[in-house]
Structure 1
């Protein structure tokens, strides 16, 4: 009987207010229950929670003593006026928040309490520069569609979202929340949620294997040249790093704005290093299997002796296996320490450097160079992420 009396002559399309020269005050708060999904590829951010809305409707007040001291009653949403809330930055189809069959609580003073369980999906551009150590900030904009600031005024009842009943997400950690009412130019409720990725899974399954493969690739220079496995080993590691790059890229937005993930740059650097290692392996094999009839140039001989920790003196350009030098027993001279001098020249003559020695020295130089380069690149990547 109470509901029938209150709805007698009631028009649900007319908003409450005794004086329409002043806007209707609507209090709004949100209880966050769960971050359901965040899809970096489609920029879709989905949360689950309860939207609490309260206002006064002077047409719905009554005297409790006239109705058996009844203090509270309930109406269906379609029976009384409710603010037409919608998510302004909705990712899917635009629809009003609420349900016609949803019950609304009304007290005898005319205070209306509308508690709406909602699943909201908004647009949120991902910033994956520091993936998988990235932190995202997504906003949801609630607007009373069709009502200007002259008719309704939204008031956020708290500076943060209610997270008392929040359930942890398996991928994301909740960092902070913010809630405020703004006039732009009409009133809106702006809810901002900041969250960060749980990076352990990605570190163990993507980053560490890639770094390990990068260093394993260096040991191709330790394989014996006669084994015939050097080129195959380097190509296998190159393909493995390329596969990891494709896996990581499939989980990232296919965009270059605002920034690409630093991890992609690291993987590209590893691929470039792997290609360079493969080229150096081929060059080293050409040195190793080069015919002994070809002389080693003088500057290569000097560099080879330096790398192999040999004394670098006046080099003799001769065949790889020269015949022993014959000395004249009459003219042969000895130095103070008994060493034989070479005619008028007091500098000893050394055997010519072989191409096998050149190959060994080349492998040492390549191993050291790529070890330092890979270490510096990985350290720079780690320092940049830690600085973020």
Structure 2
């Protein structure tokens, strides 16, 4: 007996990345021809269709194999069944279906998930019953909208097995705007703030405190994101790697700020190597154009300067400002390139 199957989705429910499961409300349409239910229309006053209880006729012993709430026979519900005079039986089974789904979080939050329903018979083998997908087209206007997910496509295909098995595959696209405004943009602004700490005057006494505040903020965002992610080592989100890299840079900025403050408070004579390094940096960062034909008197004046430890700390701070800004901006460009370009 051939059993045609068709899925109608009325509402995409919750997709739980932590438990790796998703819920969908809708109904399955099952069709088959039962020769024992045929009748002659003229013998019954032109009656072409009747409705019977699913408990009074034969129904297939179908189950959802990858159910997240336990395996139950679809026939346990007493629902009406449409029977036509040709023996065509149409059975509708509606429910809130919860099934397991293996999430791919690599491109989070610009990811596309593929979740499926695996239908099979419980005891009937493939030589007695054949499951056949019915052709259909997804109607996005009659499907309920979900705030975080968009249903892109529904495909159905068979899988060879001892028992008949049919897989209904749902392609779901995440709506990323919530995570862009509440996660990515705050993280990007914090990364710039962690670099601008080096631009504060040295007399500002809470530079280390500000660096620690930014570091703790990164830790809060990382904890919040990993809480909602599946606990698996097979996949790692690019956003998690990006946030971990920013957390590392923020930790380095705290360490460098402490080092700069210690150099700033130091007394004594500056070594010759550090003096030359400070002079070269001042020449490099000067707003005046430096050419090969620099005046010799000016060069002698620069070479006779005696930088102090405060000059060393200011030079190191200026280098850190440029270096950390470059690394933070580069990490952001790489992240958006990977998430947006590779996912399209």
TM-score with structure 1 setting the length: 0.81
- Residue 126 (structure 2) pairs with residue 149 (structure 1): yes
2:99 alignment partner, one of 122, 126, 135: 122
State the distance in 1 between where 2:171 and 2:143 align.
Answer: 14
Map 1:3-18 to 2 at 5 A: none
Partner of 2:172: 195
State the distance in 1 between where 2:296 and 2:76 align.
Answer: 108
Shift of 1:57: 1.5
Shift of 1:157: 1.4
1:84 alignment partner, one of 54, 57, 61: 61
Q: Whose Rg is larger?
A: 1
- Residue 263 (structure 2) pairs with residue 309 (structure 1): no
Partner of 2:239: 263
Shift of 1:99: 4.3
Do the aligned partners of residues 251 and 100 (structure 1) sit closer, same or farther apart at CA in structure 2, a change above 3 Å counting? closer
Unaligned runs of 5+ in 2: 286-294
Shift of 1:347: 5.6
Partner of 1:351: 305
Give the structure with the higher percent helix. 2
Any idea what SS the aligned residue of 1:142 has?
strand
Partner of 1:6: none
Shift of 1:102: 0.6
State the distance in 2 between where 1:252 and 1:226 align.
Answer: 43
Q: Over aligned residue pairs, what C-alpha RMSD do you find?
A: 2.1
State the distance in 1 between where 2:274 and 2:281 align.
Answer: 10
Give deviations 1:141-180, integer Å, cap 9, x for gaps. 1112211111111211116556563112111011222012
Any idea what SS the aligned residue of 2:269 has?
coil
Asked if 1 retains the 8 angstrom alpha-carbon contact of 2:3 and 2:131, the reply is yes
State the distance in 1 between where 2:6 and 2:141 align.
Answer: 13
State the distance in 2 between where 1:198 and 1:162 align.
Answer: 19
Give deviations 1:281-336, integer Å, cap 9, x for gaps. 11111111111xx111111111111112289xxxxxxxxxxxxxxxxxxxxxxxxx
Task: Work out which structure has the larger RCO, using CA pairs closer than 8 Å and 6 or more positions apart in sequence.
Answer: 2
Shift of 1:213: 0.7
Any idea what SS the aligned residue of 1:115 has?
strand
1:184 alignment partner, one of 158, 161, 172: 161
- Runs of at least 4 residues of structure 1 off by over 6 A? none
Partner of 2:291: none
Partner of 1:334: none
Asked if 2 retains the 8 angstrom alpha-carbon contact of 1:31 and 1:162, the reply is no
Asked if 2 retains the 8 angstrom alpha-carbon contact of 1:32 and 1:163, the reply is no
State the distance in 1 between where 2:10 and 2:123 align.
Answer: 29
Unaligned runs of 5+ in 1: 1-23, 312-336, 340-345
The number of residue pairs the alignment matches comes to 331
Asked if 2 retains the 8 angstrom alpha-carbon contact of 1:160 and 1:179, the reply is no
Asked if 1 retains the 8 angstrom alpha-carbon contact of 2:50 and 2:83, the reply is yes
- Residue 207 (structure 2) pairs with residue 233 (structure 1): no
State the distance in 1 between where 2:118 and 2:84 align.
Answer: 29
Partner of 1:209: 186
